[in-house]
Amino acid sequence: MTIAVIGGSGIYHPVWLSQVTTETVTTPFGAVAVTRGWLSDEHSTSLFINRHGVDHHIPPHRVNYRANIWALKELGADMIVATAAVGSMNQAMAPGTLVLPDQFIDFTKNRESTYFDGGGGLGQGVVHTDMTHPFSSALRRVLVAAAERIDIARPIEGGTYVCTEGPRFETPAEIRAYRLLGGDLVGMTAVPEVVLAGELAMGYQTLALVTNWAAGLTDAGLSHQEVLDLMAANSQRTTRLLTAMLQAGLRERRD
C-alpha cells in the first residue's frame, strides 16, 4: 500500500524521505515532477508532489490537478494525504488546529474537475462517481493514531471543507452564507483533488491546518503572508505527523 503526499502551502520538501529522486511523469494532461524516496524503514518508498511548485508560484486555480493525480496513480500510489491551509468558520477549530474533514461543498468555478469528459480513453461514456464518503476514513484513523504516538494534539476528525475558486479570499457575506450551509473550513484546493482521486479509485484525505479565522470573523483583514507565517510556524508538527503516519503505513481496507 503506497501512500503519497501532496504538499500544500508551507510543505515544499518531503523531509520524511531519504535518497530522493525526482522524475518527470508525462500524463495526458501535462508533465508533472514527482519525488520518490525511501521511508525510514527502508522497506518501502513513498511519493511526493509539491502542489504550488518549489517557490510557490502556482496559484490554486492554476494547479494542474488532473496531471498531478494521474501521475501519482501511474507511479503506483494507492492513497493520498494532501496538506492544506484553511480558514475556519467554526469556533471549535481555532488557528493552529489540525482538522481531517469528511465532507466538502464545491464552490469552484473554472477548473477541470473530471477524467470522465465524455471523450475517448478514460472519458468514454458517462460516469457519475459516488461522493457519499469523499474523504478516507482509513487515512483519518491512521493520522489520528500517528498523532497519539508522537504526542501532538489530536486532529479534529470530521468537518465540512468549502472549496472556493480563489485566488482572492472571501467576503464576510460569503463566509456567513457558507456557515449557514454547514461549512466549517474554507480553502482553495481540496476540490477537484479529492474528486479526481475518487475517479481513479484512490483514497484521499485532506490534512488541513487552520491558519486564520475566515473573513469577517475578526476585525482584521486577511493576508496571504499571515497564512504562510502560520504554516511555517506549524510545518514541523505537520511533517512529524506525516512521517509517523507513513512509517506506520496502512494495512487496512482503503474505505
Strand 103-107 to 98-100 pairing: unpaired
Backbone torsions φ then ψ of 229, nearest 5 degrees: -65, -45
Asked if residues 191 and 104 have their Cβ atoms less than 8 Å apart, the reply is yes
Q: Which of 7, 10, 14, 87 binds ligand HPA (CB under 6 A)?
A: 87
Q: How far apart are the first and last CA of the chain?
A: 13
Between 145 and 220, CB nearer to ligand HPA: 220
Q: In terms of DSSP H, where are the helices of the chain?
A: 65-74, 137-149, 172-180, 190-199, 224-248
State yes or no: residue 212 binds ligand HPA (CB under 6 A).
yes
Element (H, E) at 186: strand 185-187
> Which window, 31-39, 69-77, 80-88, 117-125, contacts ligand HPA (CB under 6 A)?
80-88
> Which window, 97-105, 115-123, 211-219, 245-253, contacts ligand HPA (CB under 6 A)?
211-219
User: How many angstroms separate the CA atoms of 172 and 153, rounded?
Assistant: 30
State yes or no: residue 85 binds ligand HPA (CB under 6 A).
yes
In the bound state, the residue with its beta carbon closest to ligand HPA is 87
Element (H, E) at 34: strand 30-38
State yes or no: residue 6 binds ligand HPA (CB under 6 A).
no
The interface with ligand HPA within residues 141-180 (CB under 6 A) comprises: 164, 169-170
Question: What binding mask, one character per residue, do residues 181-200 give for ligand HPA by CB under 6 A, x or -?
Answer: -----xxx------------
Q: Residues in the site for ligand HPA, rule: CB under 6 A?
A: 85-87, 164, 169-170, 186-188, 211-212, 214, 222, 227
